[in-house]
Chain A
């Protein structure tokens, strides 16, 4: 029933797939480094998501007027420069709302400036879309990053420290190793596999058609 509903509204859901099922983070590993290394608590997840969403959306919108006739190299440098300029207010806002996050996130917060979504996708994808579609795509990309960061942060903080947003939760044991980068890779791999599983399920041909295919063979 869910699959039928998805397939009958495929045009709508394909736009929303950027949020999770076809998120560039889970399909191509773009902007994945901060999620793997430092996103091991809910507060860090919120801080990263706020900074990244702010920078991504505004960078792509403000860099849209840059003429497409300029060489690719110059356009990329201008795009990333705009992201770097926007880093100041976004990180200031992040520190205001989540005190101490600048020191906790280290170099992974400034690293968002050169995330692959901004460097590679801005000239070849975002700027080729109509403005409204572009803004929707950006919001979905930022939303996808937020969802993934919150899931990662929640699971790692709960199992690694026995806390949720700094509040102690009484659980029988903790696994501190889940706070380390290698666990980030493993958890991200599981999340990517889950998204792919759901996507393949939703896009699989209905049973009747599959039986007809088998009979034809």
Chain B
């Protein structure tokens, strides 16, 4: 019994470390620039950040789980490098349709709000990139959940940080040439520099 609880404690600690690493040290937006265009479209509406993050987390979890499950088969294919994108796209497509179906049946009240978020998050750089990162980092099955949670929470955190600066950076006090998108990129660059200070080296991709 003691051993069971000890192994449960170890699993919980490992999961927490994985999730915190993905949220802060390997943040999707600030260290890998995945999903940047989606993030910039979300900063204007702060209320959408949390529901979008939930949708993104679910799609990342399901897609990463599928890519992990089929990776032994995919890696044995001749020229697996060229097969991977189409197979990953089909997996994301299946998750996309399933998510729309589940939302339309289980969350009917929220479906009009969630539908555009599902469209935006399905073929997102963060989701597609996470499927590759799962295999690159050689995660085990039990790491998929904290990894996906880390991607989603890290994305939400990044978008929230960007949205905090958006109102000030989009004001009349900023030069017209820099107002809006250019200054947001520079602001993201400085936040990325701060996150780089946590890592100290370039991440593998």
Contacts and interface: CB of A to CB of B under 8 A. Distances in A.
A, B in one complex: yes
Interface of A: 26-33, 36-38, 72-73, 76-77, 80-81, 83-85, 87-88, 91-92, 102, 106-108, 110-111, 113-116, 119, 179-186, 188-190, 192-194, 196-197, 200
A73 B32 contact: no
Instruction: Classify the interface of chain B: helix, strand, loop or mixed.
Output: helix
A186 B96 CA distance: 34
Contact of A185 (B86, B93, B100, B189): B189
Interface string B91-116: 00100110010000000000000000
Range for the number of chain B residues in contact with chain A: 35 or more
A71 B192 CA distance: 38
Contacts of A107: 129, 132-133, 136, 205
A183 B36 contact: no
B119 A193 contact: no
Contact of B32 (A81, A115, A181): A181
B119 A84 contact: no
A114 B38 CA distance: 12
B160 interface: no
B33 A81 contact: no
Interface of B: 30-38, 40-41, 79, 81-86, 88-90, 93, 96-97, 100, 119, 122-125, 128-129, 132-133, 136, 176-178, 181-186, 188-190, 192-193, 196, 202, 204-205
A183 B189 contact: yes
Nearest to B196: A182
The 6 lowest CB-CB distance pairs between A and B, nearest first, are: A185-B189, A189-B185, A189-B186, A182-B192, A106-B205, A193-B182
B40 A28 contact: yes
